[in-house]
């Protein structure tokens, strides 16, 4: 990773954290409603994985604000979507959990745990059919690895040798249920090992994540078939804003935060690339400003028109019934 | 031409036109399809376009959704409707919703085909009908082919459309004979008047259309009346215009369906009639439907669980006499 890439990743990590704190604040104020899943603590993984997987398609989960922005969707369009406004990336019809933009090859934003994995498999089939081996990256949590959709997908992707990168963000908790209470092991890569190469990485280390995803994409580009990457990570907040995070001890949270991905990336910039505090401070100010502008944009944006209720049900004909 | 051959012709002609069209499902390729609908296509288009899948229905529909996102036009086959239940998350949460949730940024040009209904002694896990559930999901077009010509044209339309379609077939119709008129296009969303009449409108779809037609001579003879028979063809959207015109003429509505009566699809048609054209009716509508039981294996019990030409005739005659119509 060169200095430019490192600086970009660091910038998007701090912008991501500032964005998530702003979203939390506006959720508490009532500007944002529904389910809101914050990515605080996992910023290094989200940003570095997306930046490393430069070409190709990405399918993600409901904890995807930072990934969507790393793919190029503007913070304004994401924040406006959280506010439910017409200027949102999904015009206020999707909300926090459903950010889609095919022009950035980003397909959500899926809120059925594991439900998007078979979609990513199908997209990988399409890419192989089109002789495009940049492939597809599908991101999911440890919770998704216990469901049938996941196992069916491992089997089909391997049988068909599809260009598919499975990225498991293992933060060890499915809402409040610790992974070892419902699965026989800590590392979910064991589930993939019979089907494909399975790599592990420290998800709190953005540099390491960047490298492993680059290597993994190089593997699928050779047409060898799918590959599995498991990133061990930690979310600082509850599963969503409705989760008070009572199931983790203060000691466990302290150990988690001692691995902070932003502090770690900052040390890479200062120690390896010789950036000084002023330059880093300038990045932080810029990130905060961008988030403030996104909030201001979302706050003043228009509500969807009443007719929007009936648009986009179908491509042809528009409405639900022919009557 | 047979019904299954008409479906095969629709697949073949569209696949020939557009190499983005692929077919996936259990035994659709090398084997030629459980009901021989895809016969010959594997040899012609190869394994990349006739994709034999594992027995994993969730993935069959889930992968089709992803293929459509990736620029293909998949046609998925589910071997029988009961197995589609394993794919309901993908049908309901993904296939029906991604276009809306993405504000139109994602389009899903795809079709899921499946046969359903009571065949012959296949028992409760291979005999059911699910249009009532599927039509309750906004975002899906639901067609039901009772007729050879309609099967050909409607399947072609569904494959060429940019919307997601569920295409329902009936297991007992695959060997039904009929003519295909390739010259005359049809509107797949328009109901088909199978037989004109002036005294009672009998609405049906899928295989029940044939059973109604078999019952009609007995009804007309017993009551000295003439029946108009309508095949809905498109279950969502519904061509209410054609129904309205017919009922305004006959003043009487009978709805015949094979699925279970409680919560069954026909309830929507009768409810619409009560809300919208109540004063055009001279008698309470009659619903003839399957019994509220799982479908039994025993042939006598099985036939007792669904409408048959005899039971349809008997119920309509009794209803007619009771209501003095």
Structure-token match 């409760």, residue found:
B124
The reply to whether B196 and B156 lie within a common domain is no
Partners of residue A109 in chain B, C-beta under 8 Å: 101
Return the half-sphere exposure (C-beta side, CA atoms, 13 A cut-off) of residue A149: 25
Band of pLDDT at residue A321, cut at 50, 70 and 90: very low
Contacts of B48 (CB under 8 A, 6+ apart): A129, B22
Both B232 and B300 in one domain: the answer is yes
Q: Is residue B182 part of a domain?
A: no
Same-domain status, B212 and B311? yes
Interchain CB contact of B82 with A (< 8 Å): no
Domain count of chain A? 1
State the average pLDDT over residues A107-123: 96
Q: Which residue of A has its CA nearest to B76?
A: A122
Domain assignment present for residue B134? The answer is: yes
Domain limits for position B77: 3-170
Residue in chain A lying closest to B139 (CA): A313
CB contact under 8 A, B100 and A156: no
Cα separation, A16 vs A10, whole angstroms: 10
The 10s digit of each residue's pLDDT in B88-140 is 999 999 999 999 999 999 999 999 999 999 999 999 999 999 999 999 999 99
Describe chain A by its helix, strand, coil percentages, rounded to 5: 50, 10, 40
| B45-84 pLDDT tens trace | 999 999 999 999 999 999 999 999 999 999 999 999 999 9
A51-76: pLDDT as tens digits: 999 999 999 999 999 999 999 999 99
Q: How many domains does chain B have?
A: 2
Q: What is the ipTM of this complex?
A: 0.95
Does residue B223 sit in the same domain as residue B286?
yes
End position of a domain, from candidates B170, B202, B234: B170
Determine the average pLDDT of the residues in A102-106. 97
CB-CB contact of A17 with A42 (8 Å): no
Interface test with B, best of A109, A314, A321 (most B CBs within 10 A): A314
**Beta-carbon contacts of residue A16 (< 8 Å; ≥ 6 apart):** A39, A43, A46, A47, A65, A66, A69, A70
pLDDT tens digits for range B157-216? 999 999 999 999 999 999 999 999 999 999 999 999 999 999 999 999 999 999 999 999
Give the CATH number, domain containing residue B115. 3.40.50.970
Across A319-323, B39-43, B152-156, least confident range = A319-323
Q: Could you say which of B57, B128, B228, B257 is catalytic?
A: B57
On chain A, the residues whose CB falls within 8 A of the CB of B68 are 122
Mean pLDDT of chain A: 95
CATH of the domain at B307: 3.40.50.920
Residue in the structure block whose two tokens are 């026989």: A184
Q: What is the mean pLDDT of chain B?
A: 97
- CA distances A212 to A1, A68, A126, A207, A248, Å, are 12, 20, 25, 9, 29
* Residue B274 within a domain: yes
The beta-carbon neighbor of A102 closest among B51, B93, B105 is: B105
Of the candidate ranges A130-134, A314-318, B148-152, the one whose mean pLDDT is the lowest: A314-318
Is the pLDDT at A322 greater than 80? The verdict is: no
pLDDT tens-digit series, residues A188-215: 999 999 999 999 999 999 999 999 999 9
Answer whether residue B112 is part of any domain. yes
CA distance A134 to B148: 44
Q: Phi and psi (nearest 5°) for A303? A: -70, 155
The whole domain housing A209 covers 3-310
Instruction: Tell me the chain B residues in contact with residue A112 when contact means C-beta distances shorter than 8 Å.
Output: 89, 93-94
A166 forms bridges with which residues in the sheet? A138, A228
Closest CA to A167 of A312, A45, A317, A260: A45
**pLDDT higher than 90, residue A323:** no
Q: Are B101 and A320 a contacting pair at CB < 8 A?
A: no
Residue B184 lies in a domain: no
Annotated catalytic, B126?
yes
What is the average pLDDT across B253-259? 98
Q: Which residues contact B151 (CB under 8 A, 6 or more apart)?
A: B3, B6, B7, B10, B145, B169
Could you tell me if residue B9 is inside a domain? yes
What percent of chain A shows pLDDT beyond 90? 96
Q: Are residues B96 and B227 in the same domain?
A: no
pLDDT tier for residue A317 given thresholds of 50, 70 and 90: low
Q: Are residues B150 and B27 in the same domain?
A: yes
pLDDT value at residue A316: 74
Tens-place pLDDT, residues A1-28: 899 999 999 999 999 999 999 999 999 9
Cβ of B94 and A313 within 8 Å? no
- Whether residue B148 is found in the same domain as residue B90: yes
Task: Examine the domain organization and report whether B203 and B90 are in the same domain.
Answer: no
Residue B147: is its pLDDT beyond 80? yes
Rounded to the nearest 10 degrees, the angle between the axes of helix B57-69 and helix A117-129 is 60
Q: Which residues of B touch A312 (CB under 8 A)?
A: 99-100, 102-104
Per residue in B226-239, pLDDT tens?
999 999 999 999 99
Sign of CA dihedral A64, A67, A71, A74: positive
For position A88, which CATH number holds?
3.40.50.970
B159 has a chain A CB within 8 A of its CB? no
Report the distance separating Cα B281 and Cα B200, nearest Å: 10
Q: What per-residue confidence (pLDDT) applies to B324? A: 76
SS3 (DSSP) at B168: strand
CB contact under 8 A, B237 and A322: yes
List the Cα angle B48/B53/B55 in 5-degree steps. 175
Kindly list the residues from chain B whose CB atom is less than 8 angstroms away from the CB atom of residue A134.
none
Specify the DSSP class assigned to residue A305.
Answer: P
Q: For residue B81, which phi and psi values (nearest 5 degrees)?
A: -55, -40
User: What is the token pair recorded at B284?
Assistant: 């309470």
Q: Is residue A317 part of a domain?
A: no
Residue B178 within any structural domain of the chain: no
Extract the tokens encoding B238.
């519904």
Q: Of B94, B126, B153, B260, which one is the catalytic site residue?
A: B126
Q: Is B257 a catalytic residue?
A: no
Note whether residue B180 is domain-resident.
no
């Amino acid at each position: 990773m060169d200095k430019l890439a490192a600086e970009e990743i660091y910038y998007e990590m701090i912008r991501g954290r500032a964005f998530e704190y702003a979203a939390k604040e506006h959720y508490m104020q009532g500007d944002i409603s529904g389910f809101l899943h914050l990515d605080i603590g996992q910023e290094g993984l989200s940003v570095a994985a997306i930046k490393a997987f430069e070409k190709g398609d990405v399918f993600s989960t409901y904890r995807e604000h930072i990934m969507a922005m790393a793919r190029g969707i503007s913070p304004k369009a994401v924040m406006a979507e959280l506010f439910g406004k017409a200027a949102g990336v999904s015009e206020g019809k999707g909300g926090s959990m459903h950010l889609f933009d095919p022009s950035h090859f980003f397909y959500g934003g899926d809120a059925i745990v594991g439900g998007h994995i078979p979609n990513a498999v199908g997209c990988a089939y399409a890419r192989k059919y089109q002789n495009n081996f940049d492939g597809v990256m599908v991101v999911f949590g440890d919770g998704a690895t216990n469901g049938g959709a996941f196992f069916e997908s491992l089997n089909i992707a391997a049988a068909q040798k599809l260009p598919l990168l499975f990225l498991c963000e293992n933060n060890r908790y499915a809402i409040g249920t610790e992974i070892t209470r419902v699965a026989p092991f800590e590392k979910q890569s064991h589930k993939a090992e019979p089907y494909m190469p399975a790599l592990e990485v420290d998800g709190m280390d953005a540099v390491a994540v960047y490298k492993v995803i680059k290597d993994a994409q190089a593997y699928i580009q050779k047409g060898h078939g799918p590959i599995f990457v498991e990133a061990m990570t930690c979310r600082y907040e509850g599963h969503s804003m409705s989760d008070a995070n009572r199931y983790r001890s203060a000691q466990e949270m302290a150990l988690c935060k001692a691995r902070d991905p932003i502090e770690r990336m900052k040390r890479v910039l200062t120690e390896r690339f010789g950036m000084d505090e002023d330059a880093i401070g300038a990045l932080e100010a810029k990130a905060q400003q961008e988030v403030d502008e996104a909030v201001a944009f979302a706050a003043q944006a228009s509500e969807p028109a009443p007719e929007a209720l009936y648009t986009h049900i179908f491509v042809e004909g528009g409405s639900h019934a022919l009557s | 031409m047979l019904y299954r051959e008409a479906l095969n012709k629709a697949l073949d002609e569209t696949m020939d036109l557009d190499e983005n069209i692929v077919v996936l499902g259990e035994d659709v390729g090398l084997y030629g399809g459980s009901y021989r609908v895809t016969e010959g296509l594997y040899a012609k288009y190869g394994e990349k376009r006739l994709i034999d899948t594992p027995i994993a229905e969730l993935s069959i529909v889930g992968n089709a959704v992803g293929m459509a996102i990736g620029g293909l036009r998949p046609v998925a086959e589910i071997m029988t409707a009961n197995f589609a239940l394993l794919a309901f998350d993908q049908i309901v949460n993904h296939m029906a919703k991604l276009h809306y949730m993405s504000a139109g940024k994602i389009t899903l040009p795809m079709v899921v085909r499946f046969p359903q209904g009571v065949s012959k002694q296949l028992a409760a896990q291979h005999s059911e009908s699910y249009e009532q559930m599927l039509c309750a999901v906004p975002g899906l077009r639901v067609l039901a082919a009772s007729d050879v010509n309609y099967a050909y044209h409607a399947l072609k339309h569904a494959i060429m459309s940019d919307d997601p379609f569920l295409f329902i077939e009936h297991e007992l119709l695959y060997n039904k004979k009929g003519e295909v008129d390739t010259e005359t296009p049809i509107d797949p969303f328009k109901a088909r008047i199978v037989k004109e009449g002036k005294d009672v409108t009998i609405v049906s779809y899928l295989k029940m259309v044939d059973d109604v037609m078999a019952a009609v001579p007995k009804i007309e003879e017993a009551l000295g009346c003439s029946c108009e028979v309508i095949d809905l063809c498109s279950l969502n959207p519904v061509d209410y215009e054609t129904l309205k015109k017919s009922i305004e003429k006959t003043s009487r509505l009978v709805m015949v369906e094979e699925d279970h009566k409680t919560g069954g699809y026909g309830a929507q048609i009768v409810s619409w009639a009560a809300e919208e054209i109540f004063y055009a009716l001279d008698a309470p509508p009659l619903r003839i439907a399957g019994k509220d039981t799982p479908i039994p294996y025993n042939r006598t019990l099985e036939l007792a669980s669904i409408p048959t030409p005899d039971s349809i005739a008997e119920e309509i005659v009794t209803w007619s006499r009771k209501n003095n119509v």
